[in-house]
Copies of this chain bind each other. A is one copy, B any other.
Amino acid sequence: MAADVALLSSQQACDICPIRTRAVCAHCDGDELAELETMKYYRSFEAGQVIVWAGDRMDFVASVVSGMAGLTQQLEDGRTQMVGLLLPSDFLGRPGRDLASYTVTATSDILLCCFRRKPFEKLLRETPHLASRLLEMTLDELDSARDWLLLLGRKSAREKIASLLVILARREAALIRQRPGGRIVIELPLTREAMADYLGLTLETVSRQMGALKREGLIELEGKRRVNIPSFENLVVESGDDTDGGLPV
């Protein structure tokens, strides 16, 4: 990761960027990219670090280049709900808004491609490529959030855990550009507590359900953070969803 930062922390050409084809800049042409470069800088955070606090002034927006972060919301008494998971190519920040709505925390080491907000907003107004891609991504995020509503509102603890693993497995498979199926190994860059916050459970329940899935052979744990899924299909059944390829994240 330190190497990545060194590699990318200067004004780095976009053509070797791993998220070039999926991020907010995906549809930009050469001139537009050049324009973006003038407002661009990289920042990295270590796992556990807070990237932005809810309510703080935010004068950048960003694309996640690598790693993972969580958007988090809280009730006054401290109850916490994660309301979004940012994975590589996902967009962070809201154009046109001064103050951050959510606390953003790195759940793994993470590298961000940041754009100064004001110039980015200007470019957004002037270049349909950028605006249409952002609209598309926002609509996708809205769909994901709605899928998550179904999970939080109606799924059992076991189904919630299975669903999370299925989603991460799908993302993992998508990176290698293949259909998820059969045996898959995924990295789980989340503590039990973070999983609980995402799933609307307590960390004890998460731990118990992970234990249950493990005892029943649906998953195997290598260490605490590496999960081996012997049969992806069986896990999908446990998640309660239909067996097709829905649930974008």
- Point out residues on A near B: beta carbons under 8 Å: 71, 73, 75-77, 79-81, 83-84, 94, 96, 101-102, 125, 128, 131-132, 134-136, 138-139, 141-143, 145-150, 152-155, 199-200, 240-242
Contacts and interface: CB of A to CB of B under 8 A. Distances in A.
B145 A81 contact: no
Given A125-B132, A128-B128, A128-B131, A146 B84 contact: yes
Task: Sort A-B residue pairs by CB-CB distance and give the 10 closest, nearest first.
Answer: A153-B200, A152-B152, A83-B146, A145-B145, A81-B153, A81-B150, A79-B154, A83-B149, A152-B153, A73-B150
A37 B224 CA distance: 59
A184 to B, nearest CB: 23
Contacts of A139: 94, 138
A71 B153 CA distance: 14
Contact of A81 (B71, B101, B149): B149
B143 A101 contact: yes
Given A73-B150, A101-B146, A125-B128, 20 more contacts: A71-B146, A73-B147, A75-B155, A75-B240, A76-B241, A80-B154, A81-B149, A81-B153, A83-B149, A128-B131, A131-B132, A131-B135, A135-B138, A138-B138, A138-B139, A138-B142, A145-B149, A149-B149, A152-B153, A154-B200
A143 B83 CA distance: 10
